[in-house]
Amino acid sequence: MTTTARPFPNDSDGPRPLGVAAIGYAFMGKAHSNAWRNVASFFDVPAFEQKVLVGRDATGVAEAAAKYGWAESATDWRDVIDRDDIDIIDICAPGWMHAEIAIAALEAGKHVLVEKPLANTLAEAELMTAAAAKARARGVQSMIGFNYRRVPALALAKELIAEGRLGTIRHIRAAYLQDWLSDADTAMTWRLRKETAGSGALGDIASHAIDQIQYLTGERVTEASGTLRTFVANRPGPQGLEEVTVDDAAWAILGLAGSITASVEASRVATGQKNSLRIEIYGSAGSLTFDLENLNELGFLDATSPVREQGFRRILVNEPEHPYLEAWWPQGHIIGWEHTFTHQIRDFLAAIRDQVPPVPSFADGLQIQRVLSAIEESANNKSTRTVVDH
């Protein structure tokens, strides 16, 4: 049965707050819970309640719910979706669960936020996008969580590019580097199995870099060539050494509409790099640089200035005039990584209130999935692949 969502649900006493359920309480569940707990303290958003946190381990999820501000916990997401007091489902579970949960929630009339990447396979992503389109016709909203779109410095970068400050964009370099798998003795996890993770560094972190390239330029990837490497083939697990079936690192050259070329590098074995997303954008009239490890700063070069005056200048992105920052602290006071999730929840709730499609949509997530698939096919076939954007 399909249900139509109402932006302001009612009970016998009139309009009631939106009921929120989050599925998953580990790394992403903790980050999202922090955002739900704090967003109303800083932004004007519709009234909501943190109703229930869902996880497979009853004891673990109950402890997490108490810590993270949820009224209760549960172990069966299907029962939670069926509840009349739940209006929003926030999916923070592993990728192999995304499609089943999201489609069920959308058909039940629940607004859905799902962590990236959209799904583990292109086929699953297509089914999710079709379900989202049908649900949207009934007023049910859906969004994929590419939280780095909500970094104020990157949102400012997009504004500067849209204003023409860089002229014609020519090429981009993006590198997302981590080192948490650099030790060959690091234990096996679900993130290292293709059946549960879909891919390794490619889907986990290269997806962020690719989304930023398209978000900042406003152009879509049309072709891709890639290379994937697994440097540690086996890792210790409960059954002894287990085979790693995803990539440790990925490289890609992307062609975008507008004759833009981009290079992407992603690694989870880059020794010494903890969580570094570096982006360089080069245009005919200027350049921008960004590093997630200095997320309150944006480097900007105005190439229209006289040569004797040119040079990158540091923009400290913490003024009320900068994206999102009017809600936070006095100028000069920086914010952190966790704030991107608060901004994400703010934008999602505003879209539900205003009954407008939030971005990035499931369709945007599907397009990223097609790029990831093209890179993987290119790596397997040693060829350049065309990205078909239906």
3-state SS, 166-233, equals CCCEEEEEEEEECCCCCCCCCCCCHHHCHHHHCCCHHHHHHHHHHHHHHHHHCCCEEEEEEEEECCCC
Asked if residue 350 belongs to a domain, the reply is: no
Asked if residue 54 belongs to a domain, the reply is: yes
12-26, 148-162, 228-242: least confidently modelled range:
12-26
Segment 316-373, tens digit of pLDDT: 999 999 999 999 999 999 999 999 999 999 999 999 999 999 999 999 999 999 999 9
Residues 364, 222 share a domain: yes
Question: What is the rounded CA–CA span in Å between residue 188 and residue 198?
Answer: 15
2-6, 68-72, 190-194, 202-206: least confidently modelled range:
2-6
Closest CA to 116 of 197, 213, 37: 197
Is pLDDT above 90 for 138? Answer: yes
Closest CA to 203 of 27, 386, 378, 371: 371
Confidence category of residue 384, pLDDT binned at 50, 70, 90: confident
**Do you find a cis peptide bond into 117, omega within 30 degrees of 0?**
yes
Residues 282, 166 share a domain: yes
| pTM given for the model | 0.95
Q: What pLDDT sits at residue 12? A: 58
Residues 321, 218 share a domain: yes
Question: What is the rounded CA–CA span in Å between residue 357 and residue 168?
Answer: 29
Query: What are the two backbone dihedrals, phi and then psi, of residue 16, each rounded to the nearest 5 degrees?
Result: -125, 160
> Could you tell me which residues come within 8 angstroms of residue 44 by beta carbon, excluding any fewer than 6 positions away?
none
Residues 142, 156 share a domain: no
- Mean pLDDT for the chain overall: 96
Percentage of the residues of the chain whose pLDDT score is greater than 90: 94
Residues 198, 142 share a domain: no
11-15, 56-60, 218-222: least confidently modelled range:
11-15
Is pLDDT above 80 for 1? Answer: no
Residues 199, 111 share a domain: no
Mean pLDDT for 167-175 is 98
Question: What is the rounded CA–CA span in Å between residue 81 and residue 121?
Answer: 24
Q: What is 226-293 written as a DSSP string?
A: EEEE-S--EEEETTEEEE--S-SEEEEEEEETTTEEEEEEEES--TT-SSEEEEEEEESSEEEEEEGG
Is pLDDT above 80 for 14? Answer: no
**Number of domains composing the chain:** 2
Mean pLDDT for 178-194 is 97
Task: Output DSSP code: residue 359.
Answer: S
Task: Output DSSP code: residue 17.
Answer: P
Q: Can you give the CATH number for the domain in which 118 is found?
A: 3.40.50.720
Last residue of a domain, one of 99, 122, 147: 147
Residues 195, 300 share a domain: yes
Last residue of a domain, one of 111, 128, 147: 147
Last residue of a domain, one of 130, 147, 164: 147
Asked if residue 351 belongs to a domain, the reply is: no
Question: What is the rounded CA–CA span in Å between residue 368 and residue 352?
Answer: 24
Query: What's the domain range around 103?
Result: 10-147
Asked if residue 213 belongs to a domain, the reply is: yes
Asked if residue 210 belongs to a domain, the reply is: yes
Task: Output DSSP code: residue 153.
Answer: H
Segment 141-154, tens digit of pLDDT: 999 999 999 999 99
Bridge-based pairing state of the strands 286-291 and 276-283: antiparallel
Question: What is the rounded CA–CA span in Å between residue 386 and residue 106?
Answer: 31
Residues 138, 173 share a domain: no
Residues 274, 175 share a domain: yes
**Do you find a cis peptide bond into 17, omega within 30 degrees of 0?**
no
Residues linked to residue 281 through DSSP beta bridges, in sequence order: 172, 288
Residues 47, 92 share a domain: yes
And the tokens for 183? Answer: 């030790």
Asked if residue 354 belongs to a domain, the reply is: no
Segment 27-61, tens digit of pLDDT: 999 999 999 999 999 999 999 999 999 999 999 99
Q: What pLDDT sits at residue 207? A: 98
Residues 128, 56 share a domain: yes
Q: What pLDDT sits at residue 389? A: 72
Asked if residue 301 belongs to a domain, the reply is: yes
Percentage of the residues of the chain whose pLDDT score is greater than 70: 96
**Residues 188 and 235: beta-carbon distance below 8 Å:** yes
Residues 141, 156 share a domain: no
Asked if residue 342 belongs to a domain, the reply is: no
